[in-house]
């Protein structure tokens, strides 16, 4: 899965992550994620786009996105990128209830 060279603003919440991924990823990669049989299958992207998100979106070093996820109980950067990808799969498949509830919940 190749990422685009396009410059985008670092996301600060889930919806901004989804929008950024739609810019960064090729359409064929977006469709591949959308067509996975379940969101648990996004684990195959943990080291590719997941690693890219951890390194480029500041999930290791105090970014606004990291703080947003920490406030919602996601404590490790690996879990943060997995959470984003799981909810991205939902978003691509027009399942919005779970990620919107997550977005509203602050621990």
pLDDT-derived band at 1, boundaries 50, 70, 90: low
Question: Is 69 within the bounds of a domain?
Answer: yes
Question: Is 7 within the bounds of a domain?
Answer: no
Averaged pLDDT, 21-30: 96
Q: What residues make up the domain containing 88?
A: 14-104
Question: Is 30 within the bounds of a domain?
Answer: yes
pLDDT at res. 107: 84
Q: Is the dihedral of CA 6, 12, 14, 19 positive or negative?
A: negative
Q: CB-side exposure of 30: number of CA atoms within 13 Å?
A: 14
Question: Is 1 within the bounds of a domain?
Answer: no
Residues across the chain: 107
Question: Is 3 within the bounds of a domain?
Answer: no
74: pLDDT strictly greater than 90 = yes
Domain count, the chain: 1
3: pLDDT strictly greater than 80 = no
Question: Is 8 within the bounds of a domain?
Answer: no
Question: Is 84 within the bounds of a domain?
Answer: yes
* Residue 77 CA: distances (Å) to CA of 54, 64, 86, 96, 98: 6, 13, 14, 23, 20
């Amino acid at each position: 899965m190749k990422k685009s060279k396009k410059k985008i603003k670092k996301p600060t919440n889930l919806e901004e992550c989804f929008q950024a991924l739609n810019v960064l990823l090729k359409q064929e990669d977006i469709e591949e994620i959308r067509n996975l049989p379940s969101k648990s299958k996004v684990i195959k992207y943990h080291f590719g786009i997941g690693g890219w998100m951890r390194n480029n979106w500041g999930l290791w070093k105090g970014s606004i996105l990291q703080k947003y996820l920490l406030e919602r109980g996601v404590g490790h950067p690996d879990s943060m990128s997995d959470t984003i990808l799981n909810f991205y799969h939902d978003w691509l498949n027009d399942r919005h209830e779970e990620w919107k509830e997550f977005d509203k919940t602050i621990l």
